[in-house]
Each structure stands twice: as structure tokens, then as C-alpha cells.
């Protein structure tokens, strides 16, 4: 029987936001090796139809399968919300895990009274995946949602603080924080790009609202999956590999904001998903 344990973990996102999940995975699973794909040529996914996102997600997954991955992590909330069944079918028997379910776990734990707000892309909000996942865990939860599409552009441009980021954050968050309504106990960062703006979001939200980032919870879920399936690495890790569908130089430069460490341009390979 082939030993799969020392094969890499595949991670993909529409762009660089999923590197926040990759960062959490690398910190929690230092012995594991990783291949990350950012579909930077077709960013953002959040404004596209569910059918288009599913098609793109399957293409990304099949590209990563060429690297003999043992697990696929869908580090994109929009793709997690729309594409997990299609990905699970396309990659079977390779396990697939998204960020919605772990994020819902963290949200319910952070909101004892059940008042939860979710900020995400338009596609994730319209799909209602977070609301369904939260209600599956706490049927009495009160869930409010707000699409924040400009946060993705700000994060990808590196505009993560300062007056522009703060004005956009106030524009999106003020309706959720209206003083004549019961304020949420927690605010779910329902897009993997949003942690790059975590400081400005926290400043606008105020000290009484806990921010929930699904990256750490997703990393814990991946660790549990590896243990349950006997897939935990038993050797030394190899340096991470990065794939981008456009502008590898920009990926290496801006990706550092999300990954929290330098990305060598030599480690970034440009690929064309249409030719795979």
C-alpha cells in the first residue's frame, strides 16, 4: 500500500487571501509540506455566479492533484460555500475540507447568546452557507450578514490600514453596529482576505465585539483529519511551493502581507489552468 503521509497538502484560493489559512496551517503543522494555488488571473470569485465558481474551483483542484496532494484545503469562503460537493466528487477519495464549517464552529463558541454577524463577499452572503452552518450548530442564533466586496480589493492592493481602509470599514460595519439594535457578540471574517484588514476592522467594530477568523479553526480541523486518516507526515517538511495564474512577481510581493513571511519569487510558478 502506498504511503501518502509525506505527500503535500494542497491549498487554493481565488487570490492571495488564502495565504492566511496557509499561515495557520504552517504554524500548526510544521512537519507538513504545502502547495498553494492562487487563481489571481480570475480574482475575485465573490462576485461571480455559483456555476462559474464551481468550474474554477474544480480546475484549481485538478491542477493541485498533479502535485500528488493528500488533502485539499479550500481556503476560499466563496468556493467553500458553493463547490465542496463538486470538489469532493471530483477528487474522491482525496479528502476535501473548506473554511465554512470550522468558521461556524468558532462563531458559535464566541457568541454564547447567539448574536453573530458575518462579513463576506457577495457570493458567500447570497449563498447563505455561514447562516446554515451556524444554525445547524445553534438553531436559535441570530445571524446578520453584510457583503464587503471592496475589502478584497483593498487587501490585494496592500491597503490594509489608513484612512481609506477605515472609511470603507465604517461604511460596511455601521449597519451591523447600529445603536438601536442589539450588537453582535462576534464578527465572522467570512473571507480569507479579510484578516489582512483585521486591525482596522477591530478598531471600527470596537472592543466588545470578538473577531472570528476561521484560519486557526480550519488548521485544527485539518490536523484532526490527518490524524483520523493516518495521513500525518512522518518526515521533514519541504519548502512550500506557490502557483499563481497571473503576475507571480506581484504574488510574491503582496503575498507576504497574508503569509507573514517572505515569499521568494523563485518559489512562485505561473500556470495556465486552461491548458491543464
One of 60, 76, 148, 186 is an active-site residue; which one?
76
| CA-to-CA separations, 184 to 60, 112, 115, 140, 193, in angstroms, rounded | 35, 11, 5, 14, 21
Instruction: Please indicate whether residue 191 is annotated as part of the active site.
Output: yes
**Parallel, antiparallel, or unpaired for β 34-38 and 9-13?**
parallel
Cα dihedral: 242, 235, 3, 221 (round 10): -60
**Three cell numbers at 124?**
458567500
One of 60, 148, 186, 191 is an active-site residue; which one?
191
Rg of the chain in Å (alpha carbons): 18
Q: Do residues 44 and 27 touch, judged by C-beta distance below 8 A? A: no
Best CA proximity match to 39, nearest among 265, 242, 263, 262:
242
- On the 0-12 / 13-18 / 19+ scale of CB atoms within 10 A, 266 is exposed
Instruction: Please indicate whether residue 186 is annotated as part of the active site.
Output: no
Q: Helices (DSSP H) in the chain: which residue ranges?
A: 19-28, 50-65, 77-91, 100-110, 122-127, 129-137, 149-156, 163-173, 198-205, 214-228, 248-259
| Count of C-beta atoms within a 10 Å radius of residue 163 | 9
Residue 234: partners with Cβ closer than 8 Å, 6 or more residues away: 5, 6, 31
Residues carrying an active site annotation: 76, 191
Amino acid at each position: 500500500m502506498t504511503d501518502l503521509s509525506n505527500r503535500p497538502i494542497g491549498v487554493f484560493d481565488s487570490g492571495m487571501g488564502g495565504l492566511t489559512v496557509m499561515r495557520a496551517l504552517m504554524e500548526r503543522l510544521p512537519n507538513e509540506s504545502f502547495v498553494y494555488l492562487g487563481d489571481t488571473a480570475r480574482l475575485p470569485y465573490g462576485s461571480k455566479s455559483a456555476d462559474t465558481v464551481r468550474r474554477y474551483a474544480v480546475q484549481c483542484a485538478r491542477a493541485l492533484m498533479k502535485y500528488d496532494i493528500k488533502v485539499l484545503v479550500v481556503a476560499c469562503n466563496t468556493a467553500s460555500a458553493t463547490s465542496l460537493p463538486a470538489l469532493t466528487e471530483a477528487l474522491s477519495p482525496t479528502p476535501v475540507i473548506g473554511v465554512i464549517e470550522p468558521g461556524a464552529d468558532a462563531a458559535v463558541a464566541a457568541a454564547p447568546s447567539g448574536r453573530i454577524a458575518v462579513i463576506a463577499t457577495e457570493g458567500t452572503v447570497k449563498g447563505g452557507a455561514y447562516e446554515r452552518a451556524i444554525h445547524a450548530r445553534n438553531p436559535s442564533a441570530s445571524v446578520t450578514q453584510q457583503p464587503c466586496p471592496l475589502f478584497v480589493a483593498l487587501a490585494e492592493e496592500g491597503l490594509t490600514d489608513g484612512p481609506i481602509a477605515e472609511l470603507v470599514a465604517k461604511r460596511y460595519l455601521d449597519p451591523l453596529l447600529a445603536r438601536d439594535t442589539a450588537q453582535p457578540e462576534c464578527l465572522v471574517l467570512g473571507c480569507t482576505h479579510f484578516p489582512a484588514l483585521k486591525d482596522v476592522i477591530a478598531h471600527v467594530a470596537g472592543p466588545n465585539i470578538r473577531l472570528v477568523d476561521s484560519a486557526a479553526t480550519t488548521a485544527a480541523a485539518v490536523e484532526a483529519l490527518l490524524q483520523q486518516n493516518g495521513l500525518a507526515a512522518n518526515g521533514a517538511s519541504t519548502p512550500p511551493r506557490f502557483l499563481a495564474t497571473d503576475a507571480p512577481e506581484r504574488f510574491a510581493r503582496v503575498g507576504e502581507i497574508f503569509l507573514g513571511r517572505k515569499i521568494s519569487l523563485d518559489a512562485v510558478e505561473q500556470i495556465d489552468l486552461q491548458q491543464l
